[in-house]
């Protein structure tokens, strides 16, 4: 039973430098997917071998998707990659485009419509530069202030290996709504950096604890809509699960407003959990091991949030992460296409 301070899950350092898929790699994936669609044998070992063949990386960055791609999906990825293979990108944008599984996520978010996924990607890249996502630091004084009370933090992973972001609105401590959004984006970025791409992890889990939720700490509807828009349009297919614990009537009213704007697949990821502690623990344990779940929800973790310890750990992790990737990128020969 843990009694140490709550610390964020480690950032994933084993990631390979990103680069676009090669024709050979893509052809191999397509061929494997085609073979998997028409197995020659129905015995368990043959099917297992086919599944292993099918789930090959589309890009040469070590990412292996958990859900194997069909030939038509591989073709859609190739088409989207071709649309994006144009001059004008910064190195930062180029690496984002070719991050493990990125193109497939954007296509899934738009039902594999290449043009719609292309527009979604362009919108994301513009937003990331305008929002200056790359400049957000855990040691930024405004970020530190937002994190003093433990209203949002990352801790542990769910049963699928996804990093968990805890959100506790009752600990709201500022009225700077723009900075609150920036603080949320900071945690989304850190959660992405802690995903183990080599194990096919590309999503996160949100656990939102509504105990003490009231009009005093509820965000304005405009802020709720902005965060929802960022999640859906700038982090497509990054949400694996949203666990709403003890959601009150006030939140339910707000949820009804945004519900019509949520994609069907996103709605399926949202679970409302209530009842006594045993009931909540039973529901939550379906998604999070009790060894990882906090004690307040029936889990075994008794660690407490300490802002200084958490900020120090985040800063050290991010420093190692950036140094590791700077070293990888210094050896990377792939660069964005240049203008003629």
- State the greatest distance between any 2 C-alpha atoms of the chain, in Å, as a whole number: 66
3 or 306, higher pLDDT:
306
Phi, psi of 156 (to 5 degrees): 75, -175
| pLDDT confidence bin for 259, thresholds 50/70/90 | confident
Q: Residue 64 has what pLDDT?
A: 63
Stretch 123-130: mean pLDDT: 97
Is the pLDDT at 26 greater than 50? The verdict is no
Q: Residue 256 has what pLDDT?
A: 86
Take residue 179 and report the two structure tokens written for it.
Answer: 């900075």
Q: Residue 65 has what pLDDT?
A: 67
Task: State how beta strands 270-273 and 163-167 pair.
Answer: unpaired
d(CA 285, CA 296): 13
For all residues of the chain together, what is the average pLDDT?
A: 83
Q: Residue 42 has what pLDDT?
A: 36
Q: Residue 15 has what pLDDT?
A: 54
Is the pLDDT at 70 greater than 70? The verdict is yes
Residues of the chain by 3-state class (helix, strand, coil), percent to 5: 50, 10, 40
pLDDT above 90 as % of the chain: 59
Q: Nearest-CA neighbor of 209 among 320, 294, 103, 139?
A: 294
d(CA 121, CA 103): 9
Is the pLDDT at 231 greater than 90? The verdict is yes
Stretch 50-61: mean pLDDT: 38
Q: Residue 25 has what pLDDT?
A: 37
**Which residues have C-beta within 8 Å of that of residue 305, sequence separation ≥ 6?**
5, 6, 150, 153
pLDDT tens-digit series, residues 240-249: 999 999 999 8
Q: Please tell me the least confidently modeled range out of 62-76, 160-174, 234-248, 305-319.
A: 62-76
pTM: 0.83
For the chain, which residues make up each domain, given as ranges? 23-133, 141-320
Is the pLDDT at 127 greater than 60? The verdict is yes
For residues 325 and 15, the answer to whether their CB atoms sit within 8 Å is yes
Take residue 271 and report the two structure tokens written for it.
Answer: 């679970």
Q: Residue 325 has what pLDDT?
A: 78
CATH placement of domain 141-320: 3.40.525.10
Is the pLDDT at 282 greater than 60? The verdict is yes
d(CA 209, CA 151): 10
Q: Residue 204 has what pLDDT?
A: 97
Q: Nearest-CA neighbor of 185 among 149, 132, 148, 240?
A: 132
For residues 58 and 74, the answer to whether their CB atoms sit within 8 Å is yes
| pLDDT confidence bin for 327, thresholds 50/70/90 | confident
> Cα dihedral sign for 280, 209, 227, 224?
positive
Q: Residue 53 has what pLDDT?
A: 36
């Amino acid at each position: 039973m843990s009694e140490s301070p709550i610390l964020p899950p480690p950032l994933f350092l084993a990631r390979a430098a990103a680069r676009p898929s090669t024709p050979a790699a893509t052809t191999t994936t397509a061929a494997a997917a085609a073979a998997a669609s028409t197995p020659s044998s129905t015995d368990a070992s043959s099917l297992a071998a086919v599944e292993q063949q099918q789930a090959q990386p589309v890009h040469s960055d070590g990412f292996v998707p958990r859900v194997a791609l069909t030939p038509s999906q591989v073709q859609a990825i190739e088409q989207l990659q071709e649309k994006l293979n144009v001059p004008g990108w910064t190195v930062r944008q180029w690496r984002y485009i070719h991050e493990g599984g990125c193109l497939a996520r954007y296509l899934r978010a738009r039902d594999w419509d290449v043009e719609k996924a292309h527009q979604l990607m362009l919108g994301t890249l513009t937003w990331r530069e305008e929002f200056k996502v790359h400049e957000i630091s855990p040691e930024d004084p405004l970020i530190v202030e937002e994190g003093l009370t433990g209203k949002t933090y990352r801790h542990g992973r769910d049963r699928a290996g996804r990093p968990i972001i805890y959100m506790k609105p009752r600990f709201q401590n500022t009225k700077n709504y723009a900075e609150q959004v920036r603080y949320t984006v900071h945690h989304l970025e850190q959660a992405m950096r802690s995903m183990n791409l080599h194990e096919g992890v590309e999503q996160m889990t949100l656990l939102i604890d509504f105990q003490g939720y009231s009009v005093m700490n509820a965000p304005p509807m405009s802020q709720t809509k902005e965060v929802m828009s960022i999640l859906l349009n700038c982090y497509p297919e990054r949400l694996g699960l949203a666990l709403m614990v003890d959601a009150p009537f006030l939140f339910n009213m707000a949820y009804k407003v945004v519900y019509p704007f949520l994609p069907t697949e996103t709605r399926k990821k949202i679970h409302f959990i209530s009842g006594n502690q045993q009931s909540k623990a039973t529901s939550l344990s379906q998604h999070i091991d009790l060894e990882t779940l906090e004690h307040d929800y029936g889990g075994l973790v008794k660690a407490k949030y300490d802002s200084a310890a958490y900020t120090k750990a985040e800063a050290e992790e991010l420093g190692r992460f950036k140094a590791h990737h700077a070293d990888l990128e210094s050896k990377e020969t792939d660069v964005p296409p240049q203008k003629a």
